[in-house]
Amino acid sequence: MPLSAASINIDDSVLVQRSQRGDLEAMERLILKYQGRIFNVILKISGNSDDAAELTQETFVKVIESIDKFKGRSSFYTWVFRIAVNLTLNYCQRNAKMATRSLDAEEDESDSQARQGLKDFLSDESAADPAVLAQRRELCDLAKQALLKLEEPQRAVMVLRDIEGMNYAEIADVLNIELGTVRSRLSRARSHLREVLEAMQK
Amino acid sequence: MKANPQIDELLCSFIDGELPLRQQTEVQRLVARDAEVARRLRQLQNCKNLVNALPAEPAPIDMLEQVKRSLERRTLLDSHAAPTVSRAGARHLKIRRFLAAAAMIALMGGLGAVVYQIVAPVSPAVSVRPVADAPRPIQVIPNAPSVAPAPVVVAGQGFSGRLELRTASLTQADAFIKAAIEDNGLKGFAETQTLADRRVYRIECSREGLDRLVADLGTIWTNFDSATLVVDTDRFADPVVIEPVTVRQIAQIVKQDSTEASVQVARGVVVLNSFAQAMPGGDILSTPENNTTMMIATPEIPRPRLASNDPATKAIPAPPQGGVQTTMTIVLLNTQ
């Protein structure tokens, strides 16, 4: 289960204040606290671990460089994710063609066993348990591929909600969009993901 | 069931717990009544669960070190770039400061020169006399009378100097000056020499007597082609030369209580004349008399009494006795 946003904010303001005063240890603690989650979100959006590592690194460099400008109007949590997602979406836009080619190559490698597993998943009328699904590695690989088929804005909303566990208001804050846009974009993303998965099983 | 965006939105919000309690209840009722909606709800829920089930990948273990290294690289790059910019900026600032300092020094130098010209003794080398003018009053005049050399004045005396007047009407001017000397009771205090091309009048009298004589000269001032006043100082052969000079300037110099005061005023006049000549239209002082350009306070000169043959209308002033003694040599030169 993803951590709730509220639980993350504990001590953030103190660490941020110390960082703004030049306390390197506080800044290191903030990096250590968020690096895993930032990396995971970036990876799920970008689909490449090397790129995700580089983008995560760039995110924290920007955070350190801009920590003095952080006024606390939003939480540090949403601020750091806003930097990360913006960097990632910009990167994805610049490398859209390359990402599509990479995805097509991976799709060809998916074997028939994985497709059968996906077919079972889609035809199952019962609600799937995430813990059980996580055990089915081939299904997860297909899900990652399907996720990358979505447009980046839809992918970002879905990752922030279903992987990072943000609520709609936090997603709206991170992506700087309206709450209604979050709602509709997330709905279309899930619907589209279902369609992509159905196309992949054929 | 064909996807209905509005139903999907409602169901997704229901799945995510983002609906108010009342709408949640409505969705639950809808799902209970409609099998298709219930099926769609499960599909969307499974999508969410599938994404949620994706394993979290750990960040590279050296992420913190990578961030530090990246910062160090940027700092190094900035430190390489910044000095160039800051050096250029510093150089620019230094140039501006240097120019400002140079301008200030030049300004102070200019002011100092003006003050020096007013206060310090004027040497022949820095005399502000017009270069083209000839003959120079300081030069030895050919066949000059023995009374011409500038005396070294004793401190405490009044004005001492020489007034050179050039005129084409030598005879008339000579007659007028002699009459003026006599009318002002200065005959006993004046020596006169008559030469072919000039007349020389050496007058040693009181300040008031000389003042009256100068005022009389003002009435025929337009008859003079040019006028030069050489004011003796306490330094030998270092007089102050005012060329051209106006009758008001002469009067102001003469009326001073001491030689030093006369010399100071004379130097001031020289500076003011040079400023006036340097300004547009500055040659206005080149005429022997132009009262409108007098830049310093000028005394009210009593109107001269014309030389008259009517003794009844002339009151001969008492001969000057005591008070500040002045010495003036008037050289009247024929320009014809």
Calculate how close chain B gets to A130, using CA atoms only, in Å: 5
d(CA B60, CA B57): 9
Point out the residue among A125, A129, A183 whose CB comes nearest to the CB of B39: A125
The verdict on a CB contact (< 8 Å) between B54 and A143 is: yes
Supply the mean pLDDT for chain B: 76
Calculate how close chain A gets to B24, using CA atoms only, in Å: 15
Could you tell me which chain A residue has the CA closest to the CA of B45? A127
pLDDT at B1: 55
Single-letter code of the amino acid located at B329:
T
Calculate how close chain B gets to A21, using CA atoms only, in Å: 18
pLDDT at B280: 57
pLDDT at B88: 63
pLDDT at B308 over 80: no
Chain B interface, best mutation among A27, A33, A191, by max B CB count within 10 A: A191
pLDDT at B86: 55
- Catalogue all structural domains in chain A, each as residue range(s) with its CATH number: 7-94 (1.10.1740.10), 103-202 (1.10.10.10)
The verdict on a CB contact (< 8 Å) between B42 and A167 is: no
pLDDT at A199: 87
Single-letter code of the amino acid located at B100:
A
pLDDT at B158: 84
Q: What is the pLDDT of residues B122-132, one digit of tens each?
A: 444 444 444 34
Q: B41 φ, ψ to 5°?
A: -60, -40
pLDDT at B145 over 70: no
Calculate how close chain A gets to B98, using CA atoms only, in Å: 37
pLDDT at B279: 63
Calculate how close chain A gets to B50, using CA atoms only, in Å: 6
pLDDT at B97 over 80: yes
- Across the A/B interface, how many CB contacts are shorter than 8 Å? 132
- What is the rounded average pLDDT of the residues B85-114? 81
The helix-helix angle for A24-46 and A12-20 (nearest 10°) equals 120
Could you tell me which chain A residue has the CA closest to the CA of B17? A167
- What is the rounded average pLDDT of the residues B30-54? 91
Chain A interface, best mutation among B19, B46, B73, by max A CB count within 10 A: B46
Here the tokens at position B121 are: 């003794």
From chain B, the residues in CB contact with A49 under 8 A are 57
Confidence of residue B144 (pLDDT cuts 50, 70, 90): very low
The verdict on a CB contact (< 8 Å) between B54 and A140 is: yes
The verdict on a CB contact (< 8 Å) between B60 and A53 is: yes
pLDDT at A61: 93
| B117: three-class secondary structure by DSSP | helix
Alpha helices in B120-206 (DSSP H): 170-183
| A112: three-class secondary structure by DSSP | helix
Point out the residue among A57, A140, A163 whose CB comes nearest to the CB of B70: A57
The verdict on B280 touching A (C-beta cutoff 8 Å) is no
pLDDT at A117: 74
Confidence of residue B93 (pLDDT cuts 50, 70, 90): confident
**The dihedral sign for the CA sequence B218, B223, B227, B229:** negative
> How many Cα atoms within 13 Å fall on the side-chain side of residue B295?
16
Q: B169 φ, ψ to 5°?
A: -110, 70
Alpha helices in chain A (DSSP H): 5-8, 12-20, 24-46, 49-66, 76-94, 96-109, 112-123, 130-135, 137-149, 152-158, 168-175, 179-200
* ipTM for this prediction: 0.85
Confidence of residue B268 (pLDDT cuts 50, 70, 90): confident
Query: A196, A149 in Cβ contact below 8 A?
Result: yes
Calculate how close chain B gets to A65, using CA atoms only, in Å: 9
B142: alpha, beta or left, given left = phi > 0 and alpha = psi -120 to 50? beta
The verdict on a CB contact (< 8 Å) between B56 and A40 is: yes
- What is the rounded average pLDDT of the residues B225-235? 87
The verdict on a CB contact (< 8 Å) between A58 and B70 is: yes
Place of tokens 């008399």: B289
Q: B229 φ, ψ to 5°?
A: -115, 125
The segments of chain A whose pLDDT lies below 70 read 1-10, 97-111, 113, 124-128, 130-131, 134
